[in-house]
Amino acid sequence: MKRLLAVLAIFTLTALAADITGKWKATGDGQNGPMERSFTFKQDGTKLTGETESSFAGKSTITDGKVEGDNVSFTINMKFQDQEMKMEYKGKVSGSEIKFTAEAAGGGGFGPITWTAKKQ
């Protein structure tokens, strides 16, 4: 019985998860003013992969991505001013918009940055 309930709970979470597959364009306020970043998400159930690109940091691969209900989280490794850093993103989906907060893993003095992404 417990196993059946666990399986039903997993299917329910998967069914309720927002599907964010596709291209998204985000704007955020950085230390030097407004920034833009694009995301290409690929979602399989609750697993999230893809890539992101910006003019200031180039392309990065999305890793450790999850979509649970309307919550989204993932990390990217990026290079900024000749320094490698891991950025952690956490957000909430609302229709065709995602509000993210991103900051350097372990503090790192970079962030938080608030992003608003809109589905393209």
- Residue 32 sits in a domain of what CATH number? 2.40.128.120
Strands (E), 1-120: 22-30, 33-44, 47-54, 58-68, 71-80, 83-94, 97-104, 113-119
Structure tokens that stand for 41 in this block: 């998400």
* pLDDT < 70 positions in the chain: 1-17, 107-111
pLDDT at 107: 63
C-alpha span between 118 and 80 (Å, rounded): 24
The whole domain housing 77 covers: 2-119
pLDDT at 56: 79
C-alpha span between 77 and 88 (Å, rounded): 9
Structure tokens that stand for 95 in this block: 């229709």
pLDDT digits (tens, 9 = 90+) for 38-53: 999 999 999 999 999 9
pLDDT digits (tens, 9 = 90+) for 91-104: 999 999 999 999 88
Q: 3-state DSSP call for residue 108? A: coil
Total structural domains within the chain: 1
Q: 3-state DSSP call for residue 109? A: coil
What's the whole-model pTM score?
0.80
DSSP type of residue 17 = S
pLDDT at 85: 85
